[in-house]
Chains A and B, each alone.
Chain A
């Protein structure tokens, strides 16, 4: 028999730190594979505002502050590494809360490898975009309300991270509010899931407080820079674009242009049927109206009364509700991973920011990356991703049906599912339907499935050995 007396790899504190530092490199895999952190067209804007720290049209300041903190205004690599490290730690924490085993490092290690290979995790955590933080919010909410051994220091860290995540993207604010609201209702309806009701209420209150702080911060930040005491300066522009896409805007203008005096009425016969032609393309409606990108704040004030009227009129609200349901369902199935990860060459915003603001030395690296040579192909990855997502949903259902989910797994399942559905609803109602904003969360489903699989393995071993489930005999 091949035998050894003991395991060779006992992890202490220093080793644990080293473990996290190195295992994070697995989550960084897609960036390392690519040869540079992945960039999206908006990455340039975030990078630019990390230098001047001025509020940008349609983007909150949070992610730019994050870039400022971790880039040292020199390189974009540490930013990507830091967000991977944070996600790595949150995943580890979530796993250890649910899977009670001595082999927590092995379980975590295998799960992150599988997540990077089979899901969207790596592709989002390696992007210079705040999208990965949306799933971070869900994990923080879960950890914060489930961890019995939460001390003051770790509470502060979690809440601080939550604030940073929330102020990184506008959609994170309603998402967090809706999740917290649902959890409040769940405590009322099904209190037995939570161990201590009082603690659960208290922690939810802390989380709610963080949302308030985040909103206040964004409003104060805009106020400080002369943009008024409001969160977003262009929210009505994006909502109008979405309403143009689903036809409400045209319907409203046809019904009301005789009664109201709005500049948009002059263009009511040329309202485009998609967001791109409303906002972004060369012949976008807003550009035709004289409001190019730099003047969107003015456009916002023009569009504001229209949006207000639509949202306060039951006639349109009904239509909006129906479009919202349709859009949410469509959005739930939009999970292609590589959306927007196209080649950005010398004239693109991300390139210019890296060349002129960060480090010119990194421009070779940027241009030589697979993404920017157009060599990143997502066909196989997307096919695999959809198959894995389908199996994951089956596994989650199986785990739920046969009661393999412990209390913590149930809370994570509920929080994740709420997050995914609310994210789809918010994005499809207020922004445009697209894969990028849904696939950023889809890896949570795979994470849940893998955790449940480990739960099942542990239960089976428990039944076979009739001993406590420690993985080791």
Chain B
């Protein structure tokens, strides 16, 4: 291994600590209530209720059943490498390391990146998917090894959350349409089609893997155990479920009607509090299966009746608008003490981490997010201005324009999908918001380099290719 290669590796290993900054500051990786479920599934390797197995596998591989620190370090390292690759493809300069370092420091300080990469949650992988999209669509030459590595990473990202599958499918479809009607977006159209095919392969593999995994565990050849329950919660939240039940109570069993009418009005209440009507159902797969079959005809009725469907679409349009603005960084990061699911999961399986877990800033309730959120909103606003301006600036390279499109699409589709399927939540949107800040930083550096005539190595693509 030559000296430069060695220095590069050391650089990435060390700079990853910056991205882990929030976990180091906290004293332990950040957790949410769902982290406990993922940790448990990493030991049992049984697909957890509501979530696919992907992140459980990821934890299993990198925790060595010993510590959670390695898990967040590896996820931060992956994100670090992807960010570096995106930067070097968008701004081809010799000063890549300086730009990269300054950008990750800025992102960790002023955006949601650090807070999500330091969380024992698969949310950080959602923006990773869009970075892979960008890299694969813009990279001029892709070796077999490169393709394999990116596909493997994409595969892991996709099997970590079901909504990632839909978001990716929508993005691939959009790019396909974009390539057909506006080929100027990419530099090499034929190559872009091939890359989209590659991405689609990754997506299909992920879907098949998840279905086989469910089948193997005796849950049938399907993606999710309880799709109707999840959708019913969303329908309950926007009032549509109650309306349907009120108007169709005569056709439905009275007991079902009474039970479901008691459903909480927010998904948070439904899944995470003691008020949960489905508290019992949380405990066993059998109960969830029963619940799913209970909700299935209701969800089907709503989705196939134009009157309700129109209302559902309207609610989702509104919801998407609301979701686009839900950017509180610390959503769901609260104190988890001795009786909490994350603590019990860690204590039971990772004896070393138990004490450390309890003595963190998070679990003493010392993490406050008011000022951080305030800065985050402000930085995203300024980032949007820069991104918008780059569309007007004739000197911005096509690679950056493509990055703009991917980041904005990712941000928008994430809002659409999470709103339609899960519910409105800051946690689900701010996980991806730092992509906009990254994009704006890249634009800014690109402009600085042009304005001051600093040497760029070469254009993103030769103009002849364009």
A interface residues, Cβ below 8 angstroms from B? 1-9, 25, 28-29, 32-33, 35, 77, 103, 105-106, 109-110, 113-114, 116-117, 360-365, 367-368, 377, 380-381, 384, 472
Contacts and interface: CB of A to CB of B under 8 A. Distances in A.
Nearest to B315: A361
B391 A8 contact: yes
A103 B392 contact: yes
10 contacts: A4-B401, A9-B391, A35-B322, A106-B388, A117-B377, A364-B237, A364-B238, A367-B265, A380-B371, A381-B374
Contact of B381 (A105, A116, A360, A361): A116
Contacts of B456: 1-2
Interface in B284-332: 311, 315, 318, 321-322, 324-326
Contacts of A363: 239
Contacts of B394: 4-7, 472
Interface in B401-446: 401, 424, 446
Contacts of B371: 380
B460 interface: yes
A106 B388 CA distance: 7
Nearest to A363: B239
Interface string B434-466: 000000000000100110000010011001000
The interface size bin for chain B is 35 or more
Contact of A4 (B265, B378, B381, B398): B398
A361 B388 CA distance: 36
B393 interface: yes
Q: Which of B378, B382, B391 has the most CB of A within 10 A?
A: B391
B256 to A, nearest CB: 20
Nearest to B327: A33
Interface of B: 91, 184, 237-240, 243, 265-266, 311, 315, 318, 321-322, 324-326, 370-371, 374, 377-378, 381-382, 384-385, 388-389, 391-398, 400-401, 424, 446, 449-450, 456, 459-460, 463
Contact of A361 (B243, B395, B398, B446): B243
Given A32-B322, A106-B388, A110-B388, A4 B395 contact: yes
Given A32-B324, A117-B378, A363-B239, A4 B370 contact: no
B265 A380 contact: no
Contacts of A103: 392
A143 to B, nearest CB: 24
Contacts of A32: 321-322, 324-325
Q: Which of A4, A33, A361, A381 has the most CB of B within 10 A?
A: A4
A400 B93 CA distance: 43
A388 to B, nearest CB: 11
Given A6-B394, A113-B381, A116-B381, A380 B374 contact: yes
Q: Which of B237, B381, B382, B397 has the most CB of A within 10 A?
A: B381
B416 to A, nearest CB: 14
A95 to B, nearest CB: 14
A33 B394 CA distance: 33
Contact of A28 (B321, B326, B378): B321
B238 A113 contact: no
Contacts of B311: 361
A25 B321 contact: yes
Given A110-B385, A117-B377, A3 B325 contact: no
A361 B240 contact: yes
Contacts of A367: 265
Contacts of A6: 394
Nearest to B461: A2
Given A8-B401, A9-B391, 10 more contacts: A1-B459, A2-B400, A2-B456, A3-B459, A25-B324, A110-B385, A114-B385, A360-B239, A365-B239, A377-B370
What 4 pairs across the A-B complex have the smallest Cβ distances? A361-B239, A9-B391, A2-B397, A32-B325
A109 B322 CA distance: 20
Nearest to A35: B322
Contacts of B237: 364, 368
B446 A2 contact: yes
B243 A113 contact: no
Contact of A33 (B239, B325, B392): B325
B446 A9 contact: no
